[in-house]
Structure 1
């Protein structure tokens, strides 16, 4: 079973969620949670297994969920006394993708503030980084004998994972390879570097023209008039 005391920067365990109930309209309330479910439902080959998995999630059969880079893991209680070990894998992002994500997040202070408030700005998902999964990206595995992809146990895990992502988008970022503290520290360093470069440049100087250039193009003054005759 899950062991929260072993959690660290790259391993987070979320307590088992209570039953969702059959009256719940959707397992996801945020746009990124809904994107996760869209990837699940559009990539599944058997809608009947999805329906049974949703039923398991509604009944609260999914134990604590452990998120690590590239993996979501939980034990799911099926029809037998012993629960099954279900896992959903998702490829992690490479360093180039993370650099692009960090630069995009640092462009606007509001993006960092949103992340701290457990919100995921849409802009960060549209900055050229494949942050959210697409159909077929969720690679489901389970210890049950059913070879369906996903089986109902892995599907139940996916539905409950959407609820976890709703409450904390840093779980999605960890799943993609980076922990919360790691990302916030990187954003802090990036902002400090940008501020230092701005200080080195100093205030932008106003455009000017040399006095010699002005005088060179100055029109000559007309001659003075002749003096008046004496009275």
Structure 2
């Protein structure tokens, strides 16, 4: 976080599992999203923005008076998005703080790091717009789109609602005052005696208040890390009459990779074909693939396709590529709920495969509960991107 408490920096959320029901988890976050959605002129952009937010395409977020900003990644091109909101004037802040100062319980809650939802009603009673009104959020983006907001600004706004879930004081900062300033000015009004032994300087609590932490649902585990694709560095080997240096170099690389996998307790290939596929996934030279395929009595193209599946998800990715399976009724119902919650287009389902033929894309549901994205190319279905825990995030890989 920046040292100036009027400019706060928040780390990127990264890929986040879809939430069931509402897209925000608190009253303040929900109110923020209502203002965004009520004022939007294009709900298609909001839908894409939600997908981008959950897919982790929004970078670190900077919040300052009247402005929130972040870089949003759109495939290979980053765009700088910001959303502006009018700051409250000094007289408006005085009226608002005077109103709060008359409620000892609310001052105590604020000093404890909590922000009662009644503050929004207090502000509305005296004609002060604490929450953004319809159309008050002013998005800007460096992308060529003209939508209001575009998908990049919408993604930023959705993630700001998550900031408000954890720390509603962010809203006060957007309106022009840092939490330390607000608490200091309330203390100066002298309407609430200071707690014995409490410091007289503005309170800047670190971390999340215990009341919020205790009531926060347990977070889902993060996505699995991607498989290792780059071999470690190796010494340059001199040529010799009895060995092939290129082959020896690859074997040395592979030994290092296998040692790392064993130390990390990764799944061990259980047959010669899986061993060949694993080796091909790490060493994709044409001559390597030809020799491996010949040793396995397989076609080189078949091995190349299998290696791509291994690069996507290891043994589980290979299993998804090679074998279809029939999910149970419970598993199929869960998958259908996830698909519906992600607001994805209607797809043709066969066994564990959901296909959108007109887009030439496909999602495959693995026995490990992950969704594997595929794209059709030259008549074959090729793995693309990483497996995800929900279909919405997997679809963004396409």
Bin of the TM-score, shorter chain as denominator length: 0.7 to 0.9
Q: Which of 1 and 2 has higher RCO (CA within 8 Å, sep 6+)? A: 1
Q: Post-superposition shift, 1:104?
A: 1.8
Partner of 1:191: 190
Partner of 2:164: 165
SS in 1 for 2:88: coil
Partner of 1:28: 24
* Distance across 1 between alignment mates of 2:111 and 2:56: 29
* Distance across 1 between alignment mates of 2:150 and 2:52: 11
Partner of 1:148: 147
- Aligned-CA RMSD value: 1.7
Q: Post-superposition shift, 1:118?
A: 4.0
Provide closer, same or farther for how the CA distance between residues 49 and 34 of structure 1 changes in structure 2, counting only shifts above 3 A.
Answer: same
Question: What pairs up with 1:109-188 in 2 under 5 angstroms?
Answer: 109-127=104-122, 128=126, 129-188=128-187
Instruction: Write out per-residue CA displacement over residues 37-87 of structure 1, whole angstroms, 9 at most, x where no aligned residue.
Output: 0000010001101000000001111111110000000111112x2311010
Contact 1:32 1:120 in 2 (8 A): no
Contact 2:110 2:183 in 1 (8 A): no
* Distance across 2 between alignment mates of 1:51 and 1:21: 16
TM-score of the two chains, using structure 2 as the length reference: 0.46
Partner of 2:99: 104
Partner of 1:227: none
* Distance across 2 between alignment mates of 1:50 and 1:25: 16
SS in 1 for 2:134: coil
Matched, 1:48 2:44: yes
Matched, 1:93 2:88: yes
Larger radius of gyration: 1
Task: Give ranges in structure 2 of 5+ residues lacking alignment.
Answer: 194-398
* Distance across 1 between alignment mates of 2:108 and 2:24: 22
Provide closer, same or farther for how the CA distance between residues 62 and 24 of structure 1 changes in structure 2, counting only shifts above 3 A.
Answer: farther
Q: Post-superposition shift, 1:25?
A: 2.5
Instruction: Write out per-residue CA displacement over residues 82-104 of structure 1, whole angstroms, 9 at most, x where no aligned residue.
Output: 31101000000011210111112
Number of equivalences? 189
TM-score of the two chains, using structure 1 as the length reference: 0.77
Q: Post-superposition shift, 1:24?
A: 3.7
Question: Structure 1 stretches (4+) deviating beyond 4 angstroms?
Answer: none
Contact 2:71 2:81 in 1 (8 A): yes
Task: Give ranges in structure 1 of 5+ residues lacking alignment.
Answer: 196-231
* Distance across 1 between alignment mates of 2:41 and 2:112: 36
Matched, 1:61 2:60: no
Q: Post-superposition shift, 1:113?
A: 2.7
Q: Post-superposition shift, 1:159?
A: 0.2
Contact 2:14 2:58 in 1 (8 A): no
Contact 2:81 2:152 in 1 (8 A): yes
Contact 1:65 1:74 in 2 (8 A): yes
Contact 1:89 1:139 in 2 (8 A): yes
* Distance across 2 between alignment mates of 1:82 and 1:116: 43
* Distance across 2 between alignment mates of 1:118 and 1:166: 13
Provide closer, same or farther for how the CA distance between residues 175 and 115 of structure 1 changes in structure 2, counting only shifts above 3 A.
Answer: same
Partner of 2:205: none
* Distance across 2 between alignment mates of 1:91 and 1:75: 21
Question: What pairs up with 1:195-210 in 2 under 5 angstroms?
Answer: none
Partner of 1:17: 13
Q: Post-superposition shift, 1:7?
A: 3.8
SS in 2 for 1:126: helix
